[in-house]
Structure 1
Amino acid sequence: MKHIKYILGPALLLFMTGTCYGCDLNANTTERTTLITKSSVEKPKEQFVKIALLLDTSNSMDGLINQAKAQLWDIVNEFTYAKCGNDIRPSLQIALYEYGNDNLSSKEGYIRQVLGFSNDLDEISEKLFSLTTNGGEEYCGQVIHSSLRQLDWGKNADDLKMIFIAGNEPFTQGKLDYKDAATNAKEKDVIVNTIFCGNYDQGINGMWKKGALLTGGEYMAIDHNRKVVHIATPYDDIIIQLNAKLNKTYISYGSIGRQKKELQFIQDSNAAEMEEAVAVKRAVSKSSRLYKNSKWDLVDAAEEDTDLISELQEKDLPEELKGKSESEIKAFIQEKKSERMEIQNKIQELNAKREKYIAENASQETGELENAMISAIKAQASKKNYSWDR
């Protein structure tokens, strides 16, 4: 069951990559509005890729969990390039569940919602690193039912909605039938993808493949004990140095600002403790469009809401901005924004060179889980008008 955790982390991120369920499928069609009212063709302002990761945290899942932590940022970075229709860039939201752990309530079926749908990459990382394993009963059907019932999947048919469930026990355990869960998923337009940690045929015999096929999802089996190989490059140290400078462009505000900025640093440290290459990949993610922190950073917040600065109270400002006029605060924010964009662009440029170096010096850098996930995501995404521009 340790395998499950590993799989889920990457799986989440990867599935995000395959967004766009019907993303702007009619973008290039000729005008057909004569019989259609304006309100009937209006699309939501945002489109989402919603991924729920259901991870088995029973015994023997440590190796898999480490793989998931290491590959989380690979998946995020892959998703950065995803688009649907006419250059629509969907927003990514991830939810996390754990199941099969004796520390969880038996009344709830040994299931816990660790995180509801969130686009906070630091928070997602924090929750993955908080997971621990302990033996338990693994009820796949019940955890799928819970995620479908508890999460807000929305009603936009163009959103891509996916579940990734990972584990190594039969898919049939528990009182709630996985077939009923699949029916419920189809009603909500949610695709269930399954990842079995172990032998491919054993997973089929345990009904993991059928659990996926019932909703049009993908079945995968992985070697959860396989070590992820990271390729060091001449650009890694520079990217890590730029990441430290990037952190200094964040201006915390409000009641949670200081706590969130500290969380940013902690997740940098968690990545670095795993391996330098993981810290590099996280830095690349932080230079992408997916790393937004408007809830606690004034630069992102001001970009999202131009009236925010005039509405802020003195007590919500960081020490360096207290006593400053509104025009002085705006000038300070603009300075940090320009500095951030410059650093992020440098990281992206160096990452392009880094990826080229890796391609020229190794046949592959990815782990088994990541290979399986990206392959499945892109195969499904190609059917939904999804593409990647690098």
Structure 2
Amino acid sequence: MKTQILKSANKNLILSGLIIVLLLIGLTIQADNNESKSIKIALLLDTSNSMDGLIEQAKSQLWTIVNELAGASCDGKRPELQIALYEYGNDWLSPREGYIRQVTYLTKDLDLVSQKLFELRTNGGSEFCGQVIKTSLDQLDWNESHDDLKLIFIAGNEPFTQGGIDFHDACYRAKNKGIVVNTIFCGDFNEGVRTNWKKGAEITGGEYMSINQDCRTVYVSSPYDDRISELNSKLNDTYVSYGKTGYEKKQNQAAQDANATSIDKVNAVKRSVSKASHVYKNESWDLVDAAEQEDFEIAKVKEEELPAVMKGMNDDEKVKYVETKKKEREKIQKEIIELNTKREEYVKKQQTENSSETVLDDAMLKAIKTQAKSKNFKFEK
């Protein structure tokens, strides 16, 4: 009798344990499904002497690429965008590191990416494609998620086989980590095939493309540009800097507005549109974005780390001030997005037949949209 009771008790314990395990698995799956996906892009740029045109295209087309990616969604949610930047093939870089430098880690800070792009300078050197791919795999936080879209874009014009790291090994390693390598040859398509750029992409199921790196970006002005530029200035006024780097980051925001304008006024308009989108987030230095984070408490921000206008406020006054700025920002962003819809319609009508020349943003966006389908990402247009 006692044996039967013990067996029954053990069965109940086992069943209870199984139920708990299944519940925990269900909760884990539900939590995973609730998490927003990410788009992680590492851009590896050849900065040897002949690549001035490539760098100019990267600077002038960053915001076009960002705006397209801002239209992405997955399972009804907007993904987080992170961009990393590497330069390689530059004699100013350390030969011990393979003439390779991590310019930025994977970051949401788009102002930082813009700043670093504008700081790039070309100089002759040796271009080691396999090594720069391997370095980006080793150094960046790609994470283990199979749902994120993880892409490497490498652009250059020398044989893909140069250097001591075999590109086959680097690309197969990327494939095993769920990272797609896309190759962009700056020059004749067939030459890129002959020098193994196509093979580098094929290993991971990526795209091989060739571009004319010396082709200049063509901009089309619209009647809406002046108003969007005006709204951009008002948008900047809604940023409430805090923390040790707050002032510096806010200054950099204005500096990157100026950098965008230095390329073309329309390029600055495109940056303004990016700043009105969900991918432009600065919670590390802006109180409005920080207040959106679940674990953020404004009462915990030290008095000395607040902007001058907020010093001396009590907690309720601080919350009210930030909320007011948030409402101002949302109103401005809404108008920018509405004006941009009209701007895009106008530009589409004004544009003549597209040039046959493929440039950096064309190549990148084609690959991104193709590869995003496998991860269930969709784009607005």
Structure 1 runs of 4+ off > 6 angstroms?
33-36, 364-367
1:118 aligned to which of 96, 107, 111: 107
Code of the residue aligned with 2:280 in structure 1: it is Y
Instruction: Map Cα deviations across residues 133-161 of structure 1 (whole Å, 9 max, x no partner).
Output: 00000000011111111111100111111
What corresponds to 1:79 in structure 2?
A: 69
What corresponds to 2:54 in structure 1?
A: 64
Offset at residue 370 of structure 1 (A): 1.9
Residue pairs, 1:110-189, within 5 angstroms: 110-189=99-178
Q: Normalised by the size of structure 2, how large is the TM-score? A: 0.90
2:329 aligned to which of 332, 340, 345: 340
1:301 aligns with 2:311: no
Check the 8 A contact 1:252/1:298 in 2, yes or no.
yes
Offset at residue 305 of structure 1 (A): 4.0
Unaligned runs of at least 5 residues, structure 1: 1-32
Q: Identify which range, 55-64 or 297-306, moves more after superposition.
A: 297-306
Q: Using a 3 Å threshold, how does the CA distance of structure 1 residues 364 and 36 change in structure 2: closer, same or farther?
A: farther
Instruction: State the SS of the aligned residue for 2:97.
Output: coil
Larger Rg: 2
Instruction: Map Cα deviations across residues 186-211 of structure 1 (whole Å, 9 max, x no partner).
Output: 11111000000000000000000000
Q: Using a 3 Å threshold, how does the CA distance of structure 1 residues 35 and 241 change in structure 2: closer, same or farther?
A: closer
1:37 aligns with 2:25: yes
Q: Relative CO higher for 1 or 2, CA cutoff 8 Å, sep ≥ 6? A: 1
Offset at residue 307 of structure 1 (A): 4.4
1:252 aligns with 2:241: yes
1:97 aligns with 2:81: no
Offset at residue 116 of structure 1 (A): 0.7
What corresponds to 2:43 in structure 1?
A: 53
1:369 aligns with 2:360: yes
Code of the residue aligned with 1:71 in structure 2: it is Q
Instruction: Map Cα deviations across residues 247-297 of structure 1 (whole Å, 9 max, x no partner).
Output: 000011111110000000000000011110010000000000011111111
Q: Which has the higher helix share?
A: 2
Code of the residue aligned with 1:378 in structure 2: it is K
Offset at residue 309 of structure 1 (A): 1.0
Instruction: State the SS of the aligned residue for 1:137.
Output: coil
Code of the residue aligned with 1:319 in structure 2: it is A
Instruction: Map Cα deviations across residues 31-69 of structure 1 (whole Å, 9 max, x no partner).
Output: xx9899315624162321111111100002112211111
Check the 8 A contact 2:148/2:375 in 1, yes or no.
no
Q: Using a 3 Å threshold, how does the CA distance of structure 1 residues 145 and 277 change in structure 2: closer, same or farther?
A: same
Residue pairs, 1:222-371, within 5 angstroms: 222-305=211-294, 307-363=296-352, 368-371=359-362
Q: Normalised by the size of structure 1, how large is the TM-score? A: 0.88
Check the 8 A contact 1:94/1:118 in 2, yes or no.
yes
Partners of 1:70 and 1:174 lie apart in 2 by 30
What corresponds to 1:380 in structure 2?
A: 371
Offset at residue 372 of structure 1 (A): 2.3
Check the 8 A contact 1:231/1:365 in 2, yes or no.
no
Partners of 1:388 and 1:327 lie apart in 2 by 40
Partners of 2:157 and 2:285 lie apart in 1 by 39
Instruction: Map Cα deviations across residues 20-39 of structure 1 (whole Å, 9 max, x no partner).
Output: xxxxxxxxxxxxx9899315
Instruction: State the SS of the aligned residue for 2:95.
Output: coil
Q: Percent identity?
A: 54
Partners of 1:359 and 1:72 lie apart in 2 by 20
Instruction: State the SS of the aligned residue for 1:295.
Output: coil
Partners of 1:173 and 1:152 lie apart in 2 by 26
Offset at residue 369 of structure 1 (A): 2.1
What corresponds to 2:186 in structure 1?
A: 197
Partners of 2:73 and 2:294 lie apart in 1 by 25
Check the 8 A contact 1:222/1:369 in 2, yes or no.
yes
Instruction: State the SS of the aligned residue for 2:204.
Output: coil
Offset at residue 226 of structure 1 (A): 1.0
Partners of 1:359 and 1:372 lie apart in 2 by 20
Check the 8 A contact 1:358/1:365 in 2, yes or no.
no
Q: Using a 3 Å threshold, how does the CA distance of structure 1 residues 258 and 219 change in structure 2: closer, same or farther?
A: same
Partners of 1:142 and 1:91 lie apart in 2 by 28
Q: Using a 3 Å threshold, how does the CA distance of structure 1 residues 223 and 184 change in structure 2: closer, same or farther?
A: same
Instruction: State the SS of the aligned residue for 2:96.
Output: coil
What corresponds to 2:4 in structure 1?
A: none
1:206 aligned to which of 180, 183, 195: 195
Count of residue pairs brought into register by the alignment = 357
What corresponds to 1:8 in structure 2?
A: none
